[in-house]
Structure 1
Amino acid sequence: MADVNRGNRPLSPHLLIYRPQMTSMSSIMVRMSGLALLALAPLVVGWLLAAATSESCFAAIDGFLRSWFGKLIMFGGIWALWYHTLGRLRHVIWDFGYCLDVEISEKMGMGMFIGATVLTILTVLVV
Structure 2
Amino acid sequence: MSNPRTRPISPHLQIYRPQLTSVLSIMHRLTGLLLSGASVVLSLWLVSLALGEPTYTRFSGLWDSWAATALMAAVVFCVYFHLLNGVRHLAWDLGFGFDLATVYASGWTVVVGALALCALTVAMLF
Q: Structure 2: which 5+ runs fail to align?
A: none
**Which one of 108, 112, 115 corresponds to residue 114 of structure 1?**
112
Matches within 5 A, 1:1-127: 2=2, 12-127=10-125
When normalised by structure 1's length, the TM-score is 0.86
Shift of 1:35: 0.2
Query: CA separation of 1:28/1:43 partners in 2, compared to 1, >3 Å: closer, same or farther?
Result: same
Shift of 1:2: 4.4
Shift of 1:37: 0.5
| Percent sequence identity over aligned pairs | 35
Runs of 4+ aligned residues of structure 1 deviating over 2 Å after TM superposition are 1-6, 11-14
Secondary structure of 1:16's counterpart equals: helix
Return the letter of the residue paired with 1:14: H
When normalised by structure 2's length, the TM-score is 0.87
Separation of aligned partners in 1, 2:44 and 2:99: 44
Give per-residue Cα distances to partners, 1:25-83, cap 9 Å, x unaligned: 10110000000001111111111111121211111111112321211111111111111
User: RMSD in angstroms over aligned alpha carbons?
Assistant: 1.9
Separation of aligned partners in 2, 1:79 and 1:42: 17
How many residues were matched structurally? Answer: 124
Secondary structure of 1:44's counterpart equals: helix
Shift of 1:12: 3.4
Query: CA separation of 1:101/1:12 partners in 2, compared to 1, >3 Å: closer, same or farther?
Result: farther
Q: Structure 1: which 5+ runs fail to align?
A: none
Query: CA separation of 1:5/1:50 partners in 2, compared to 1, >3 Å: closer, same or farther?
Result: closer
